[in-house]
Amino acid sequence: MTRIAAIVPAAGRGERLGLPVPKALLQVGGLSLVEHAVAGLVRAGVDVVVVAAPADTVDDVRRLVPLATVVTGGADRCESVRLALDAIPADVDVVLVHDAARPFGSEDVVRRVVDALQAGASAVIPVVPVADTVKRVDRNGVVVETIDRATLRAVQTPQGFRRDVLVAAHESQNATVTDDAALVEAMGIEVQTVDGDARAFKVTTPWDFSVAEALWERGNQ
């Protein structure tokens, strides 16, 4: 049977949210974002969870998610994932990477990602259509071009990888990218997409945090 591990990068400060608490420790409905994220992964059947936490909160995070292995995160998301990868047990075949900042909606997504990996994919990312028209602008904010929206997708997590592929991707380069799939793409390995879920949005700004609270209050998470 496939052993599935999940890495939860939770070591960011949440600068765009602008609160004194690290974002992963912020609570919605009495549970921190990292607790929600880990609980969703465990409900979806993940066997092993490794969380990368800010150095000064490692002990707090260990108390909050006792099922998980907690390591100190790095200076950027990429480094946090790399440090967590080192703590994945040897018998794991598939590794998911899931932002602590996405507290809801991951259960169905995990299933779709894992199904695609079990069907033979090396790398799988959940995506959603882009609602707004997207334009490229120059340094002065002047429109350069309109990009055909039909070909665009917004990318979520959990992203899933064959373990050897993710390890090779993180060993291959140090470029700071905002998702792991970009490292895999750069190696020339095909990255497949599956449907994401609107509920798996990332809490980035105060607006997003209000949305998370509202969803929780309505039981729509």
DSSP string, 112-125: HHHHHHHTT-SEEE
Give which of ligand CTP, Mg ion, none residue 11 binds (C-beta under 5 to 8 Å, depending on kind).
ligand CTP
Q: Which of 5, 6, 7, 12 binds ligand CTP (CB under 6 A)?
A: 12
Which pair of structure tokens corresponds to residue 127? 């995506």
CB–CB of 26/19 below 8 Å?
yes
Burial class (CB in 10 A: 0-12, 13-18, 19+), 79: middle
Under rule CB under 6 A, residue 169 binds ligand CTP: no
Residue 176, CA atoms < 13 Å, CB-side half-sphere: 6
For residue 162, the minimal CB distance to Mg ion (Å) is 26
Name the site residues for Mg ion (rule: CB under 5 A): 12
Of 7-15, 131-139, 162-170, 208-216, the segment contacting ligand CTP by CB under 6 A is 7-15
Dihedral (CA of 67, 157, 109, 89) sign: negative
For residue 35, the minimal CB distance to ligand CTP (Å) is 13
Of 62-70, 73-81, 103-111, 142-150, the segment contacting ligand CTP by CB under 6 A is 73-81
CB–CB of 100/37 below 8 Å?
yes
Closest to Mg ion by CB, 9 vs 122, is 9
Size of the site for ligand CTP (CB under 6 A): 22
What whole-number distance in Å separates Cα of residue 122 and Cα of residue 141? 38
Q: Which of 4, 6, 65, 73 binds ligand CTP (CB under 6 A)?
A: 73
What whole-number distance in Å separates Cα of residue 134 and Cα of residue 27? 33
**Interaction residues for ligand CTP, span 95-154 (CB under 6 A):** 99-101
For residue 118, the minimal CB distance to ligand CTP (Å) is 26
Nearest to 45 by CA among 4, 77, 73: 4
Give which of Mg ion, ligand CTP, none residue 184 binds (C-beta under 5 to 8 Å, depending on kind).
none
Closest to ligand CTP by CB, 48 vs 101, is 101
What whole-number distance in Å separates Cα of residue 32 and Cα of residue 40? 13
Under rule CB under 6 A, residue 74 binds ligand CTP: yes
The residue ranges that bind ligand CTP (CB under 6 A) are 9-16, 23-24, 52, 73-77, 80, 99-101, 202, 204
